[in-house]
């Protein structure tokens, strides 16, 4: 978002926020905010906004959204800052709705009863976030403000999730049933995804250099990594089982290293194979697209090829290479979830368990952290690429 | 001194440079001029070994360049190209410091040198040192390009159409700047251009090239007076030669000097001693004057130049 855009539009009515706000308002009234289940498997009964949080709560939600919509039309100098505060606060306090809902509807006498989050609540969360992003965009990029929001909203949710009020939430129940497994899944997921990215980054760098030195290798290498990308991921996970098992049977020493036909070995191999295409392509394109006249100038001034690479080509290529790492990381985090099918562990194991037991909240327990990890990786690498931009300012 | 002896360069079956002989004396500005594809850039790039020559030998100060380390050779040759080739991720100061850094000069010597060069090229160090090349105008960027080439005080300066991408006014300014700097630093310069006026203005000697051969290698005056072939005659402009010759000679050579410098009359307009005869004629035509006073650098009137003499002896 450019600063000039935010300034020129400062005094014009914003149309995006009212549209999002109206949608949120409609959906939160039309859809169930939460459901109460007598136990884990039986489908629960849904509750609309008024039923879930009472007239008081419904009025608060409605007036907050209405206030946000009105604010967008106001001709006020600092209206986007006020908007940001309003939305940030709403998002931070959103778990309060679930707390109120649970305390109103959860039967005291049945220990298996649980509350779960309904479509209306998810919609409200989603649209509030969109409105927040739009507001941040209008304010222009302010790193400090964004960080503050993440801390306030994230911190508030963590505190609420650990409080007693949300203890009945089925998502929390599923977590509380297996905290050790969750932690293990977290580390496995992280190790698999980032391990694959790290290995493929090293491989891709080597391959890109090879392609630069000997152009004859360009077509075969790019062809191979593109081909790897076209195989369906499930098939790769499956196809690797047999050859790896055979390999381990032939060389039992491999088994002592923890290599087996199923588990982390085929998962890591497949993840690396998938990561290669974006990584190789970005690295190669970034390094070769350094303008020839710059290389010519450098060479003509007396730089040798080594100096030319480290002082000119690599610094100019780095943001694009990191962009490749970013795409690859997000993709690897998602694919690692699928790798749970062949026993690799990670958050995917909760997803497949939940699907098997028809327990949707267990699926969510696997899916939500996967999404959060991907978003986090995206943000970190975007920031890294921006800070490494070779040409910080243009006239 | 740079000597090219029977130098040939082939690209596959095509001959880009065809058996040329060229000697560039120390301290002179040799301009290679010709239409595009005539081999002038190829010739330049063979001198710093960006292109190897296919046949013949190239000597720098008597030493065959193929026996030298290519990087060492280039570190002692400033190189300026069209479109500057400044590194976009380096500040102006760091770009200028490129070769001194490669030569591992101490930090404070580099800083002093960068400051000195920016001042020499009329770039204010305080405002420009920390800018990035994209924040400069085309003319400023090319000044930085020239400063970068001069940074380690090389003996030789190679310039490959350095002002080709600039607008006419900026180009003219930089040409004057280059003449001024050349007077101070006296580099052996090889300058490639397709613009004959630029060549006439800057060169001590011009090498006219066509189809990989040197057609004529001589002073600007001789090129104008005695073109070796019809090609050269057309290149310098047949009809235009009189004025072009006048623009080569300063007013000082043709003025009638006063016995002693005089205080100028207040408000008097006139010429400077360094102005060329072409400008003198233009001023006379415009003012309708028979003679115009000439001033020296201190503003004293040192003589007059008359229309009669100008017409008789100007070209």
Instruction: Inform me whether the pLDDT recorded for B256 exceeds 90.
Output: no
Q: Do A395 and B72 touch (CB under 8 A)?
A: no
Instruction: Inform me whether the pLDDT recorded for A260 exceeds 80.
Output: no
Q: Are residues A134 and A204 in the same domain?
A: no
Q: Are residues A221 and A316 in the same domain?
A: yes
**Mean pLDDT of the A33-52 span:** 85
Q: Are residues A152 and A191 in the same domain?
A: no
Q: Are residues A202 and A112 in the same domain?
A: no
Tens of pLDDT, residues B92-113: 999 999 999 999 999 999 999 9
Alpha-carbon span A135 to A188, nearest angstrom: 36
Residue B94's closest chain A neighbor by CA? A311
B98 touches chain A (CB under 8 A): yes
Nearest to A327 by CA among A204, A207, A189: A204
Residue A319's closest chain B neighbor by CA? B89
Residue A2 confidence (pLDDT) = 42
Instruction: Inform me whether the pLDDT recorded for B146 exceeds 80.
Output: yes
Q: Do B74 and A301 touch (CB under 8 A)?
A: yes
Alpha-carbon span A208 to A281, nearest angstrom: 8
Q: Do A302 and B99 touch (CB under 8 A)?
A: yes
Residue A171 confidence (pLDDT) = 83
A393 inside domain: no
Residues from chain A contacting residue B135 (CB–CB below 8 Å): 393-395
B133 against A38, higher pLDDT: B133
**Mean pLDDT of the B198-227 span:** 92
**Mean pLDDT of the B262-271 span:** 79
* CATH classification at residue A307: 1.10.3720.10
Q: Are residues A201 and A346 in the same domain?
A: yes
Question: What total of structural domains would you count in chain A?
Answer: 2
A15 inside domain: yes
Residues from chain B contacting residue A302 (CB–CB below 8 Å): 71-75, 99, 102
Q: Which of the residues A289, A292, A302, A390 would you substitute to probe the B interface, choosing the one with the greatest number of B C-beta atoms within 10 Å?
A: A302
A 10 A CB-CB count for B159 gives 25
Tens of pLDDT, residues A183-217: 999 999 999 999 999 999 999 999 999 998 888 89
Q: Are residues A38 and A161 in the same domain?
A: yes
**Mean pLDDT of the A316-327 span:** 91
A395 inside domain: no
Residue A7 confidence (pLDDT) = 47
Tell if the pTM clears 0.95, that is, is over it: no
Residue A141 confidence (pLDDT) = 66
A367 inside domain: yes
Q: Are residues A35 and A115 in the same domain?
A: yes
Write down which residue in A171, A201, A226 finishes a domain.
Answer: A171
Q: Are residues A155 and A212 in the same domain?
A: no
Alpha-carbon span A14 to A239, nearest angstrom: 53
Instruction: Inform me whether the pLDDT recorded for B314 exceeds 90.
Output: no
Are B140 and B95 in contact by the 8 Å Cβ rule? The answer is: no
Domain that holds residue A156: 3-171
Q: Do B71 and A393 touch (CB under 8 A)?
A: no
Six-digit token string for A376: 């986090």
Residue B149's closest chain A neighbor by CA? A301
Closest CA–CA distance from residue A303 to any residue of chain B (Å): 6
Whether ipTM > 0.85 holds is no
Which of A6-20, A236-250, B199-213 is predicted with the least confidence, judged by mean pLDDT? A6-20
B53 touches chain A (CB under 8 A): no
Closest CA–CA distance from residue A306 to any residue of chain B (Å): 12
Tens of pLDDT, residues A248-257: 888 888 777 7
Residue B5 confidence class, pLDDT cut points 50, 70, 90: very high
Q: Which one of A302, A311, A315 has the shortest CB-CB distance to B75?
A: A302
Contacts within 8 Å (CB) and 24+ apart, B122-128: B122/B177, B123/B92, B123/B147, B125/B93, B128/B92
**Mean pLDDT of the A322-346 span:** 90
- Report CA-CA distances (Å) from B21 to A141, A376, B26, B168, B232: 62, 66, 16, 33, 18
Q: Which of the residues A295, A297, A304, A312 would you substitute to probe the B interface, choosing the one with the greatest number of B C-beta atoms within 10 Å?
A: A297
Write down which residue in A109, A139, A171 finishes a domain.
Answer: A171
Which of B1-5, B32-36, B236-240 is predicted with the least confidence, judged by mean pLDDT? B236-240
| CA B75 from centre of chain | 20
**Mean pLDDT of the B52-61 span:** 93
Alpha-carbon span A374 to A193, nearest angstrom: 10
Q: Are residues A183 and A164 in the same domain?
A: no
Write down which residue in A171, A189, A207 finishes a domain.
Answer: A171
A315 touches chain B (CB under 8 A): yes
Which of A333-347, B51-65, B235-249 is predicted with the least confidence, judged by mean pLDDT? B235-249
A28 inside domain: yes
Q: Are residues A60 and A117 in the same domain?
A: yes
**Mean pLDDT of the B66-79 span:** 92
Q: Which strand (E) or helix (H) includes residue B27?
A: none
Residue A43 confidence class, pLDDT cut points 50, 70, 90: confident
B104 touches chain A (CB under 8 A): no
Handedness of CA A208, A210, A216, A221 (dihedral sign): negative
Q: Which residues contact A178 (CB under 8 A, 6 or more apart)?
A: none
Q: Are residues A259 and A340 in the same domain?
A: yes
Alpha-carbon span B247 to B282, nearest angstrom: 11
A292 touches chain B (CB under 8 A): no
Residue A14 confidence (pLDDT) = 80
Per-chain mean pLDDT for chain B: 90
Alpha-carbon span B98 to B117, nearest angstrom: 13
A190 inside domain: yes
A394 inside domain: no
A166 inside domain: yes
Residue B250 confidence (pLDDT) = 87
What structural domains and CATH numbers belong to chain B? Answer: 2-238 (3.40.50.300), 248-314 (3.10.580.10)
Q: Are residues A202 and A252 in the same domain?
A: yes
Instruction: Inform me whether the pLDDT recorded for A339 exceeds 50.
Output: yes
Instruction: Inform me whether the pLDDT recorded for A391 exceeds 70.
Output: no
Q: Which strand (E) or helix (H) includes residue B79?
A: strand B77-81
Strand partners, A169: A115
Closest CA–CA distance from residue B209 to any residue of chain A (Å): 23
Which of A128-142, A292-306, B31-45 is predicted with the least confidence, judged by mean pLDDT? A128-142
């Amino acid at each position: 978002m450019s600063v000039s855009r935010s300034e020129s539009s400062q005094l014009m009515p914003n149309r995006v926020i009212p549209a999002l706000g109206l949608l949120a308002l409609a959906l939160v009234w039309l859809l169930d905010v939460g459901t109460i289940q007598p136990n884990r498997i039986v489908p629960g009964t849904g509750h609309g906004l008024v039923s879930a949080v009472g007239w008081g709560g419904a009025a608060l939600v409605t007036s907050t959204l209405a206030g946000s919509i009105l604010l967008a039309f106001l001709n006020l100098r600092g209206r986007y800052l006020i908007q940001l505060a309003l939305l940030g606060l709403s998002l931070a306090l959103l778990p309060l709705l679930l707390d109120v809902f649970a305390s109103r509807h959860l039967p005291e006498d049945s220990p298996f009863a649980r509350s779960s989050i309904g479509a209306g609540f998810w919609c409200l969360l989603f649209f509030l976030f969109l409105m927040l992003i739009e507001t941040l965009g209008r304010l222009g990029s302010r790193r400090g403000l964004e960080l503050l929001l993440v801390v306030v909203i994230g911190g508030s949710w963590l505190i609420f999730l650990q409080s007693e009020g949300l203890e009945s939430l089925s998502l929390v129940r599923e977590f509380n049933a297996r905290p050790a497994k969750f932690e293990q899944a977290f580390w496995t997921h992280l190790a698999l995804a980032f391990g694959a990215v790290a290995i493929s980054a090293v491989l891709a760098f080597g391959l890109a250099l090879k392609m630069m030195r000997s152009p004859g290798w360009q077509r075969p290498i790019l062809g191979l990594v593109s081909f790897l990308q076209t195989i369906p991921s499930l098939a790769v996970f499956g196809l690797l089982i047999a050859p790896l098992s055979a390999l381990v049977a032939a060389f039992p020493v491999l088994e002592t290293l923890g290599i087996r036909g199923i588990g982390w070995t085929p998962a890591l191999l497949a993840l690396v194979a998938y990561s290669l295409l974006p990584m190789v392509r970005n690295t190669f394109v970034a390094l070769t697209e350094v303008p020839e006249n710059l290389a010519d100038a450098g060479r003509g001034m007396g730089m040798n090829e080594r100096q030319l690479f480290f002082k000119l080509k690599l610094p100019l290529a780095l943001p694009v290479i990191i962009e490749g790492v970013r795409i690859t990381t997000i993709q690897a985090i998602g694919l690692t979830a699928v790798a749970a099918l062949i026993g690799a562990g990670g958050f995917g194991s909760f997803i497949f368990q939940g699907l098997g037991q028809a327990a949707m909240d267990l699926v969510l327990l696997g899916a939500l952290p996967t999404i959060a990890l991907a978003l986090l990786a995206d943000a970190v690498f975007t920031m890294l690429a921006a800070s490494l931009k070779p040409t910080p300012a243009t006239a | 001194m740079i000597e090219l002896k029977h130098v040939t360069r082939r690209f596959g079956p095509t001959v880009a440079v065809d058996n040329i002989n060229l000697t560039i004396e120390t301290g002179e500005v040799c301009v290679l001029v010709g239409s595009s594809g005539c081999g002038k850039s190829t010739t330049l790039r063979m001198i710093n070994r960006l292109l190897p020559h296919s046949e013949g030998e190239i000597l720098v100060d008597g030493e065959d360049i193929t026996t030298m380390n290519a990087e060492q050779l280039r570190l002692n040759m400033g190189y300026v190209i069209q479109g500057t080739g400044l590194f976009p991720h380096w500040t102006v100061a760091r770009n200028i410091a490129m070769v001194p850094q490669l030569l591992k000069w101490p930090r404070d010597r580099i800083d002093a040198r960068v400051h000195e060069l920016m001042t020499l090229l009329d770039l204010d160090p305080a405002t420009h040192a920390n800018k990035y090349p994209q924040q400069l105008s085309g003319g400023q960027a090319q000044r930085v390009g020239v400063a970068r080439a001069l940074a380690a005080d090389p003996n030789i300066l190679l310039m490959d159409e350095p002002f080709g991408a600039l607008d006419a006014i900026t180009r003219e300014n930089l040409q004057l700047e280059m003449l001024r700097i050349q007077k101070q630093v006296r580099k052996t310069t090889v300058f490639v251009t397709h613009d004959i006026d630029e060549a006439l203005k800057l060169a001590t000697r011009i090498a006219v090239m066509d189809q990989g051969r040197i057609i004529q290698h001589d002073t600007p005056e001789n090129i104008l007076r005695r073109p070796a072939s019809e090609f050269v005659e057309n290149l310098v402009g047949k009809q235009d030669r009189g004025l072009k010759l006048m623009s080569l000679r300063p007013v000082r050579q043709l003025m009638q000097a006063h016995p002693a410098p005089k205080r100028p009359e207040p408000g008097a307009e006139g010429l400077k001693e360094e102005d060329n005869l072409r400008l003198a004629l233009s001023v006379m035509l415009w003012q309708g004057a028979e003679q115009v006073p000439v001033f020296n650098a201190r503003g004293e009137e040192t003589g007059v130049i008359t229309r009669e003499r100008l017409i008789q002896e100007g070209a």
